[in-house]
Structures are given as C-alpha cells and as structure tokens.
Amino acid sequence: MNMKALVIEKPGIARVQTVPVAPVGDRDVRIKVKVSGICGTDVHIFRGEYLGAYPVIPGHEFSGVIEEAGGKVTRFKAGDHVAIEPNISCDNCHACLNNRQNFCEHWNGIGVTLPGGMAEYAVVPEKAVFGIHTLSFLSGAFVEPLACVIHGVERARIRPADKVLILGAGPIGILLSKTVQLQGVSEITQVDRNQSRLELAKQSGAVKVCASLEELDRDAFDVVVDASGSTFLMERALDFVRKGGTVLWFGVPPRDGKLQLPAFTIFEKGLSLLSSYTSVRNSIQAVRLLEKGKIDVTPLISHQLSLEEFTKGVETIEKGIEGVLKAVILPESAKKS
C-alpha cells in the first residue's frame, strides 16, 4: 500500500511524494492522520537547524483514526480516535529508569527521527498512542504541545494566588496562560508586541496585557514565564520576578543563543531559574484538560492547510504574517489553489 506524504528531502526542500506505508508490527498501530500541527520544531527541521536525519516525514503533533492494530496491541482497535506522544523512550536506560524519559539515552522522535504525521498514514508503537474519545481531531493535534506546557507548569510549582507574568502570547503563550490559570493564580499579565495576540490573551484570561516591557512593575511577579525563546526577553525576565520568585524559560531559544545574566542579582533575589524540556508522561493530563473543556484550543487554529501547502505554512509562521497562530495540515484535503 502506498500513501501521499510530505517528505523533507534535505534542509529547505520539502515535496509531497508517494511512498510505501510501513508494515504494522505486532505492537504497532496504523493511524489514518486527520490533523497534524506545524510546530516551531518542524520549521527548524525544514531549515536544517535541528538534529534529525534526512529525508524525514515531519509531524509530531497529530491526531487520527486507527485503521489497523497489531496482534499484540491491547488498548486500541480499528476505529478508535487517537493522538500521539512523539517521544519514544527505550524504558531501559539510566534516564528512563529514573523517570526522566525525556532525557532517554536512546531517544527517537516520531516526525523527527522516525516518520511522522504529515502523511496520509503513520505507523507508530502502541505506547506512543492515547485515546482522545469524543475530542475533535483539531483539538487532538494539541495533545503534544499541551503536554509540554503541563510539564513546564509542573516544574514551576505555581501556587494558588500567585501573580504570573507571561512573555509572549503566541499559541504556546496562550496554552501556558490557560494551564497556569488552572493552578488558581490570582492574575496573569501577558506581554506581546502584536495587538491581535494581546486581544486573544485577554480573551484567554489574562487580566492585564501590554505591548511594552516598560509598562510592567519591576520585582512584582511570583513567577515569570518566557514563552518566546528570545534571549533578550529571557534576560529581562529577571527584572520582573520578585525576590524568592521563579523564572521559567519555556520558549525554545536559538541553538547558538547566549544569555548575559547579573550574577549578584540572582543571588540577592534568591531566584529559582528553570527550563523545561519536552514532557514526561503528561499526555493523559493533556487529553483530559482538552476533553473536559478546561482548555479550548479552537481559537488558536489560524490556518488549515493541505500537505502541498507545508512550505507555505512554514513561511507564514516564520514571517508571522496574516495573524498566524497555529497552522495545521489536513492530509486528506487537496491543495486549494
């Protein structure tokens, strides 16, 4: 059996090709992909700025329907609606055995080192699959990014009544805001240069929004979360966190990015400085939050594209044009010309 797949042949070159569908092993399922989100990581893979082997079928944020389940699969059957957790850990290395599967020494990533969801079908191991039940496929494509956000929020140990500042109001900034609100914080302030994003931040529960750091009180926030990955904002986060507070650097910085931080300020303010890398078994939480309507991701979807339009989607994200938030690929849809 063959399928249409978007293949990144080498950095900068992505084409829709006809390729064979992988055989379904005993512990695998074949998913008919319905929605596959384009993430910053896909942009990096396309630009050759990420580990990963070429050629690769990208797509690590996807949902679909199971068409075939291998003989030893226990949790799923044909017809089940599912989303995936793309990080495949070996479960047998030092990191995995210490519950740090995100740092697995033999890590593989669906859509990074293994074929992903920007295709009509994806064959993946059962352990990477989660039932999404009645959740829509569009929302199901957010299980992976939301799982990463949940991991970050857990690391920041946000407490009831905390005042939280979030730098950036793109899709990840909004997911962070909504997840932080579920911790019972007293208020969220959100900063972004883009006015339409600030509108969405307000609608998503931020009490205060502003376009400039100069409008913010210094030393005022229990927790400051950077959702941008900009090294400038990562540094400035330290100005706004209170003494004894926490900074969570969540956004992905440039690979060669460097920070210049005031060492004595970090000491004097007694700061907790945290980063967050992918997720650690947070997909069930993500599915529940989406399924129970605690987090509604539909306002985040700005572009629904065909496989042929992947490069256009990447460029739209890079340029930040057309009010872009989250662009998703619908592999079944034909190119609209």
Q: Which of 7, 39, 24, 50 is nearest to 122 (CA)?
A: 24
Q: Which is nearer to Zn ion, 229 or 245 (CB)?
A: 229
- Cis check for the bond before 55: say yes or no (omega within 30 of 0): yes
Of the candidate residues 22, 65, 90, 266, the single one contacting Zn ion (CB under 5 A): 90
Question: By CB under 5 A, what part of segment 26-45 binds Zn ion?
Answer: 39, 41
Of the candidate residues 5, 104, 138, 169, the single one contacting Zn ion (CB under 5 A): 104
By CB under 5 A, tell whether 65 contacts Zn ion.
Answer: no
Q: Which is nearer to Zn ion, 50 or 221 (CB)?
A: 50
By CB under 5 A, tell whether 317 contacts Zn ion.
Answer: no
CB of 157 to Zn ion, least distance (A): 24
Neighbours of 300 (CB within 10 A): 23
- What is the Cα–Cα distance from 150 to 276, expressed in whole angstroms? 10
Q: Name the residue whose CB lies closest to Zn ion.
A: 39
Q: What is the Cα 142 distance to its own chain's centre?
A: 7
* Segment interacting with Zn ion (CB under 5 A) among 92-100, 179-187, 230-238, 260-268: 92-100
Q: Which is nearer to Zn ion, 93 or 274 (CB)?
A: 93
Of the candidate residues 36, 63, 87, 89, the single one contacting Zn ion (CB under 5 A): 89
Integer Rg of the chain from CA: 20
User: How many residues in the shown chain lie near Zn ion by CB under 5 A?
Assistant: 7
CB of 44 to Zn ion, least distance (A): 10
* 3-class secondary-structure state, position 168: coil
User: Under a CB-based contact definition with an 8 Å cutoff, are residues 9 and 55 in contact?
Assistant: yes
Q: Which residues neighbour 285 within 8 Å (Cβ) at sequence distance 6 or greater?
A: 147, 150
Pairing of strands 221-226, 241-249: parallel
By CB under 5 A, tell whether 93 contacts Zn ion.
Answer: yes
Binding site for Zn ion (CB under 5 A): 39, 41, 89-90, 93, 96, 104
